[in-house]
Structure 1
């Protein structure tokens, strides 16, 4: 499983951390960015910590092209990330909730994004179990 967003500092890291926390015993999880930033989003990290998910040891990193052919599934988070050569993996795109469009900012925004991603991660893990 590879989660991808543009900077690999927020949403893809959140998805990977939540998948590892909730389903990591059965799913090998990675994350990457199309244009990696320099640091993890502090709000994302705090929001994850509140539910016991960790990004310890993680940092923004680029996509390893070889990984696109070795993972079973690639999930692109958001509309902006584009993978030049998607490889042979099944690819999905998640357009996640954006609370700022409703005027919700800060900590409340990050928690709503986290909760949306959690719901999607759980649904994906269930679907993957049925594919096996």
Structure 2
């Protein structure tokens, strides 16, 4: 990473849940020490209400965030692009690293609702904390 403020972009397919959670958690943890953006490869119309609620439970807000499309400019501006899940496909550009996080999916074990969302949140939170320590 360069000596300047690192820029991380979190990406998932719809940019309504996992990437927004990761971005909010990093903003909360790092403050102004990391530039954080999030986007989707096929953005939806709104944020996942349970994702927002799960973050609020631990005192993390999403602010005025909304789903937005990933652009080539976003990738180029980033030092690191973190792709959450296998559904979103992002092509690397010179100078930008890409990490893929395959997050735990509790619904595959029959866990749904807020219990599922808390497990997803906690998995992402652990990964964000690790990433922050590496930055």
| Structure 1 position 50 matched with structure 2 position 53 | no
Runs (4 or more) in structure 1 with deviation over 3 Å come to none
- 1:94 paired with 2:94, answer no
Measured in 2, the distance between the counterparts of 1:74 and 1:124 equals 12
User: How many corresponding residue pairs?
Assistant: 127
Is residue 34 of structure 2 the alignment partner of residue 33 of structure 1?
no
Query: Per-residue displacement from partner, 1:56-110 (whole Å, max 9, x unpaired)?
Result: 2100000121121121100000011002x43231000000010111111000000
Moved more, 17-26 or 27-36: 17-26
Distance in 2 of aligned mates of 1:115 and 1:25: 23
Q: What is the rounded CA distance, in whole Å, between the counterparts of 1:7 and 1:64 in structure 2?
A: 14
RMSD: 0.9
Structure 1 CA distance for aligned equivalents of residues 9 and 20 of structure 2: 10
Could you tell me how far apart the structure 2 residues matched to 1:90 and 1:64 are? Answer: 16
1:63 paired residue number: 70
Q: Is residue 57 of structure 2 the alignment partner of residue 80 of structure 1?
A: no
Separation in structure 2 between the aligned mates of residue 24 and residue 65 of structure 1, nearest angstrom:
25
Matched, 1:8 2:21: no
Whole-angstrom distance in 2 between the partners of 1:49 and 1:87? 35
Q: Partners of 2:12 and 2:52 in 1: how far apart?
A: 16
Q: Distance in 2 between matches of 1:32 and 1:86?
A: 15
Q: Distance in 2 between matches of 1:94 and 1:24?
A: 22
